[in-house]
Structure 1
Amino acid sequence: MITRRSLLGGLAAGAATASPIASATRAFGTPAPAPAPVPPARTGRAAASMPLHVVNRSGAYANSSVWIYVVGNDGTQQVHVTPDGALRPVALADNGPDGYTDYAIPLAASGTTTLQLPQMSGRIYTALGGKLRFKAVEDGNGKAALAYPAGWVASDPNYDVLHDCAEFTYNSGGMFCNTTMVDMFSVPLAIELTGAKKQTTGELKDGARATVFSEVRAAEGFDRLVIGDRRVIAPGHGLDSGLFATDHFAPAIDEAWSVYAGKGLTVTTDAGTFTGRVSGGKLSFTVPPGLKRRGGGAPGGTVSFDRPSTRDVLFCDGTLAAPNDRIRGPVAAVLGAALNRSTLASQARQPATDPAAFYRQRLTNHYAKAMHAATRDGKAYGFAFDDVAGFASYIEDGAPKEITLTLTPF
């Protein structure tokens, strides 16, 4: 499986920003992603473009009040898709008299809107009730880039606009896509991908949008993350904005470090089984014999983690940053998932795979808990390592034929 971090990872590098940058381990944690590698072609079966259908079943906004934006990169430069399905590079000259681009694609007057989606890696934004303002700027390499919406920043020009997005990479190897709540949740979106088979993800249960708002508002310490009826911002961004406690996970982290000072912890990844224990304040794992880091180096040895902060846990960054190295990265992902799901101290064999055991502690990620409870398939991207053990709202197909993005009922 190509995870969200591997299919969209690296987009933070060199990005131009108009808002605070989130963790680089997050595919789109920065408001303006720079060109990034895409998954390697595996089958060569995907066409150069395919139909993207957009269906408005929100029940809250007519088609005339909804716009979409398809933006991202083609591997060499930042691009956007025009209403006729053409791929165009972002240009500083695209900024209008108000200082912003107008890359909006209006929905059809009624029914389904269809356009051609070319091969690229990016996001499909939906804006309801008003257009989004993307500003073309110059990045650190002198290339044109976009300052993306940051709905968790009160000073962002798009803060008052109801909007959300889905993420994808589409290349000759296929389509890899997800609905994401890693930064925030506002507009309920679902994806249907048709190709070798038909798959769906992201669809919420009836009335679940209101339930998410209500449950996050009721959770101790999470109430200020709910911004009226507009959106719920992820706790990591809430922490950076002073809306969430910087030490929320500290007791849970301390408990786990204490537990594994007295016994071993086993983490199993695709690369093998790592055994760990806390000593000298570090959680250190023995690397499976013969396993080498990607790019070379001596096999075996150890990999160690300092005690993470609450911010590290929420952003899956810092101590828990996950490089694509087959060793530290996979173990960090498992540890981050276990801390967000509140299973690390209680289950000495990770990753835990029974969702009935997730989020059972008082000090848990109530935001991610609410998102998973809201979806029909139980899958969501409530934090960046939610793909651990396959609980992310992610689907892929090596021979895609069409994709449908649906604004589901509010």
Structure 2
Amino acid sequence: MLHRLTRPALPLAAAAALVGGLLALGAQDRAGAAVPDTLALTITNDSGRSDPVYLYDLGTQLSSGQQGWADANGTFHAWPTGGNPPTPAPDAAIPGPAAGQSLTIRIPKFSGRIYFSYGQKLVFKLTTGGLVQPAVQNPSDPNRNILFNWSEYTLNDSGLWLNSTQVDMFSAPYAVGVQRSDGSVSSTGHLKPGGWSGFFGALRAQQGGWAGLVQTRSDGTFLRALSPLYGVETGALPAGVMDDYVNRVWQKYSTQTLTVTPFADRPDTKYYGRVSGNVMNFTDSSGTVVTSFQKPDADSVFGCHKLLDAPNDQVRGPISRTLCAGFNRSTLLVDANQPDTRTADFYQDSVTNQYARAVHAQMADGKAYAFAFDDVGDQESLVQDGNPRQAYLTLDPLG
């Protein structure tokens, strides 16, 4: 699965193109039984919280390309035309299950998100370009003090892709699951016991400004931690937080070759990187330069974009994915052959993505989407099936 960073401030069409549309890449050639037009999704509230839960199924209808929402029966509703300034969106909230209870809704063939919030409904607005989603890195966002989170999914003719994500923030914990055609159930996303407080404790104790990612209510209640990308963009995390590591990588590969084998199923496809000045050039086996990267800054590393842009092609994108994973996990100095998929090598340098390190450390199965290409080496928190019987979303306790 190719996961892309989702930016909550973007209209949903952009988010869907970056997330769900790419979830299905390569899936269309998988043969399987017919996938129904809607699929049962059971939401179980194991949070232990007494406040009401609100659910939202928002995304892009795959058959029409229209943006909209689905009600509890899986019926699609297109968004009306928005305005400038943005206008309030129709109330798409589905009342969720009380603590200790479950609710089953239907989800349509969609590429989008399942949002859930505690205590208050989320505020959504519409621009002329589509839906504006919560952007809590902005202190004036109306959702700033609401405890909420979301899962991402694509349901299409080739099956279901459903993941938990911390690409944009770590917040209210949950797990996802799927019942397969043979009746077995696969799930991922649960925290370890004490994982909620363990994550925030680790981030707050980390030197170098990482504690600035944590957002709380005025009474000190934890709400979330922003991703380091948003930390850099808002000044909550120093912009030069990755500079030392990047400089060491650049120095190493000015005299050595970095070999990238981006496709696990194509081990003979290799690219060779060498640094010259401020540029890392990659050549193919014939010695032809196929792509080049300027020395990235922290923004590019954490977002896997800008100077580490990853187009949906067969050369630059796969190389960039590999570099992005290597920078975030700090494996590029450990092994000159990438990707390094040995988890014992991850996050061992003193300069690394400490947010991603803390997220993975608190996951029960070690799997998470803590940055955009965390699926390199199969480290992502994803369930997928070509002929799903049912999907699951479990709201877990905070601590």
Report the TM-score when normalising by structure 2. 0.88
Report the counterpart of residue 2 of structure 2 in structure 1: 3
Equivalent positions of 1:281-300 (< 5 A) are: 281-288=278-285
Structure 1 residues 29, 300: closer, same or farther in 2, change over 3 A?
A: farther
Report the counterpart of residue 183 of structure 1 in structure 2: 168
Q: What letter is aligned with 2:48?
A: G
Shift of 1:33: 2.0
Of 56, 66, 70, 1:77 maps to: 66
1:392 matched to 2:380? The reply is: yes
* Post-superposition CA distance 1:117-167 (Å, at most 9, x none): 11100000010011101112211xxxxx21111122211111111100000
* Post-superposition CA distance 1:360-408 (Å, at most 9, x none): 1111111000110111110111110111111111221111111010001
Shift of 1:90: 1.1
Report the counterpart of residue 219 of structure 2 in structure 1: none
Shift of 1:341: 0.6
Further displaced range: 112-121 or 78-87: 78-87
Further displaced range: 80-89 or 115-124: 80-89
Equivalent positions of 1:369-388 (< 5 A) are: 369-388=357-376
* Post-superposition CA distance 1:298-356 (Å, at most 9, x none): x9543211100111001111111101111000111111111111111221111111111
Over the aligned positions, Cα root-mean-square deviation in angstroms equals 1.9
CA contact (8 A) 1:287 1:303 kept: no
Report the counterpart of residue 52 of structure 1 in structure 2: 41
Of 172, 187, 191, 2:157 maps to: 172
Q: Secondary structure at the match of 2:358?
A: helix
Q: Secondary structure at the match of 1:380?
A: coil
Report the counterpart of residue 201 of structure 1 in structure 2: 188
Structure 1 residues 227, 382: closer, same or farther in 2, change over 3 A?
A: same
1:264 matched to 2:243? The reply is: no
Q: What letter is aligned with 1:390?
A: D
How many residues are paired up?
Answer: 370
* Post-superposition CA distance 1:50-97 (Å, at most 9, x none): 1011011011235xx111101010131101011232111111489xxx
Structure 1 residues 279, 203: closer, same or farther in 2, change over 3 A?
A: same
Distance (Å, rounded) in 1 between the aligned partners of 2:116 and 2:251: 45
Of 122, 141, 147, 1:132 maps to: 122
CA contact (8 A) 1:372 1:378 kept: yes
Distance (Å, rounded) in 2 between the aligned partners of 1:149 and 1:353: 34
Of 292, 302, 320, 2:290 maps to: 302
CA contact (8 A) 2:43 2:97 kept: no
Distance (Å, rounded) in 2 between the aligned partners of 1:300 and 1:405: 48
Runs of at least 4 residues off by over 6 Å: none
Shift of 1:287: 2.0
* Post-superposition CA distance 1:260-295 (Å, at most 9, x none): 111111111115111111113211111245xxxxxx
Q: What letter is aligned with 1:216?
A: L
Further displaced range: 360-369 or 268-277: 268-277
Structure 1 residues 357, 363: closer, same or farther in 2, change over 3 A?
A: same
Q: What letter is aligned with 2:102?
A: T
CA contact (8 A) 2:53 2:97 kept: no
Q: What letter is aligned with 1:161?
A: I
CA contact (8 A) 1:101 1:136 kept: no
Q: Secondary structure at the match of 2:270?
A: strand
Structure 1 residues 61, 364: closer, same or farther in 2, change over 3 A?
A: farther
Distance (Å, rounded) in 1 between the aligned partners of 2:383 and 2:324: 22
1:243 matched to 2:236? The reply is: yes
Shift of 1:28: 4.8
Distance (Å, rounded) in 2 between the aligned partners of 1:357 and 1:93: 48
Q: What letter is aligned with 2:70?
A: V
Report the counterpart of residue 106 of structure 2 in structure 1: 116
Report the TM-score when normalising by structure 1. 0.86
Q: Secondary structure at the match of 1:278?
A: strand
Distance (Å, rounded) in 1 between the aligned partners of 2:137 and 2:382: 23
Of 270, 273, 278, 1:276 maps to: 273
Q: What letter is aligned with 1:4?
A: H
1:32 matched to 2:11? The reply is: yes
Report the counterpart of residue 148 of structure 1 in structure 2: 133
CA contact (8 A) 1:152 1:184 kept: no
Structure 1 residues 93, 235: closer, same or farther in 2, change over 3 A?
A: closer
Shift of 1:232: 0.6
Distance (Å, rounded) in 2 between the aligned partners of 1:397 and 1:28: 26
Of 301, 311, 318, 1:330 maps to: 318
Report the counterpart of residue 248 of structure 2 in structure 1: 255
Q: Secondary structure at the match of 2:115?
A: strand
Q: Secondary structure at the match of 2:121?
A: coil
CA contact (8 A) 1:67 1:127 kept: yes
CA contact (8 A) 1:162 1:186 kept: yes
Q: What letter is aligned with 1:127?
A: S
